[in-house]
Amino acid sequence: MITALTRRAALIGGACAAMTLLSVAPSQAAAKIQRLVSPGGIEAWFVQDATVPLIAMEYAFAGGASQDPTAKPGVGNMVADLLDEGSGDLDSKTFHERLERRAIELSFSATRDNFRGSLRMLKDNKDEAYELLRSALSAPHFDPVDVERIRGQVLSTLRRESTNPSSIAGRKFLQVAFGDHPYGRQASGTLESVPKIEIADLKDYARRIIAKDTLRVAVVGDVDPDTLGRLLDKTFGGLPAKADLVPVPDVVATKPPQRAFIPLDVPQTVVTFGGPGVRRHDPDFMAAYVVNHILGGGGLSSRLYKEVREKRGLAYSVYETLLWMDHSALFFGNTGTRADRAGETVDAIETEIRRIAEEGPTQKELDEAKSYLKGSQMLALDTSSKLAQAMLQYQLDKLPIDYIEKRNAIVDAVTLDDAKRVAKKLWGDGLLTVIVGRAPQAAAQPAAAAPKASN
């Protein structure tokens, strides 16, 4: 993985999760998605489902880690970790006791482009759950004792990551790909930046980001539209009308080929690779999605898995995926191998990348990939939470509310010529590669205790 944005967050801009959501589709409930507008003007995508007495809500505000001050990456991450640490007239202990007593699940996270939240509760506890969320968003405490406790937790995680080869590789890859752009910064902060974050920074971030004009909401569960409208107004209606966002420029990832090596005395070498990708609303996106499934996204059936794992036994696993953000896109892959076989592993990956760029997939591979991707449309997202997450992601991706119904036709429309053209577009320039592990001359020696890498 590239980096942990918070203790609850996913990789860049939530994009990996988005890929999963595109691989499986919501159940029949998805056909009943409705656009609900509360009396106060809060809009939500909504599925009323009384199968179980639960309500799941996912929501997001624009901004995310890209809105961190340039010299203080990690502010959004700390805000996400602190919003449920006391608000209104409740201190941290009392706030969490209220959540636990009613089995309410409340969490926040800062992805690259969004500040996200999740709320899950039993139907009978909905009023208390939404009230606690309202308080957390509108009147967070940021008490010094809680700030220092969370700061300590973040720093502890960063220290562990500073000697973790996968974390080091992911951080370096972003730096190589994006340089000084906000996407190139460490979203969870650094050992240097986190100690400098002040309470004023946290309050300013919350003030600028948490506002109604960029809010997107998805709700699934046992609640009627009128009741939900009332709850949405109660929860979000008192927020500021407009966010105060710093403009983030579009950026194209660094053009391959480039290779970076970071020495670290560990038994297994990590190889992270990637390059410029295809943005979500590019006309070539679905062709890229299909051909990527063939190369590295199809699990045991992918070309990379067969070549690197099955034929050569170089790694236990290898994957490659498409990632997209609001202002850029990547393809990104990762594997781990024995230190003395790292060079052979990189060569095998580059050879397979070059082959698909030059030749494209076969008709058989294309047909099988399309069949799988269309068939997976019928797989149910088996919980209210998963369905709500999917609906929110579709909104963030600016897809139509009936996208699920249209998706199979979009997959079907990808031709072999499309797949070949896009394969060359994606992989024709080669790879940005980051290798973290033991130097070749030291690979045959036993690993010593791993030194601390600078952050």
pLDDT of residue 448: 42
Q: Which of the listed residues 203, 236, 269 is the one where a domain comes to its end?
A: 236
Residue 242 inside a domain? The answer is no
CA torsion angle 279 284 288 289 (round to 10): 80
The token duo for 250 is 């579009």
pLDDT of residue 288: 98
232, 269: one domain? no
265, 335: one domain? yes
Residue 2 inside a domain? The answer is no
The parent domain of residue 100 ranges over 12-236
- Which neighbouring-strand residues pair with 221? 48, 55
Residue 159 inside a domain? The answer is yes
Count: domains in the chain: 2
67, 201: one domain? yes
149, 188: one domain? yes
101, 175: one domain? yes
Establish how many alpha carbons lie within 13 A of residue 284's alpha carbon, considering only the half-sphere containing its beta carbon: 19
Alpha helices in 162-224 (DSSP H): 165-178, 199-209
Residue 390 inside a domain? The answer is no
The pair phi, psi for residue 350, each rounded to 5°, is -65, -40
201, 304: one domain? no
Residue 451 DSSP one-character state = P
Residue 400 inside a domain? The answer is no
pLDDT of residue 374: 86
47, 110: one domain? yes
Q: What is the mean pLDDT of each run of 10 residues along the chain (455 residues)?
A: 34 37 40 90 96 96 96 97 95 96 96 97 97 97 97 98 96 96 96 98 98 97 97 98 97 96 94 97 97 89 91 89 96 94 94 96 96 75 84 95 89 97 97 91 45 41
Can you give the CATH number for the domain in which 265 is found?
A: 3.30.830.10
Residue 410 inside a domain? The answer is yes
207, 112: one domain? yes
CA torsion angle 141 143 146 149 (round to 10): 140
Q: What does DSSP say about strands 268-276 and 105-110: parallel, antiparallel, or unpaired?
A: unpaired
Residue 1 inside a domain? The answer is no
339, 411: one domain? yes
Rounded-to-integer distance, Cα 305 and Cα 319, Å: 7
pLDDT of residue 118: 98
Residue 399 inside a domain? The answer is no
226, 273: one domain? no
Q: Which of the listed residues 187, 205, 236 is the one where a domain comes to its end?
A: 236
223, 299: one domain? no
Rounded-to-integer distance, Cα 159 and Cα 195, Å: 13
pLDDT of residue 2: 38
- Nearest-CA neighbor of 31 among 20, 45, 52, 44? 45
Rounded-to-integer distance, Cα 231 and Cα 168, Å: 43
68, 115: one domain? yes
pLDDT of residue 32: 82
Q: Report yes or no on whether pTM surpasses 0.85.
A: yes
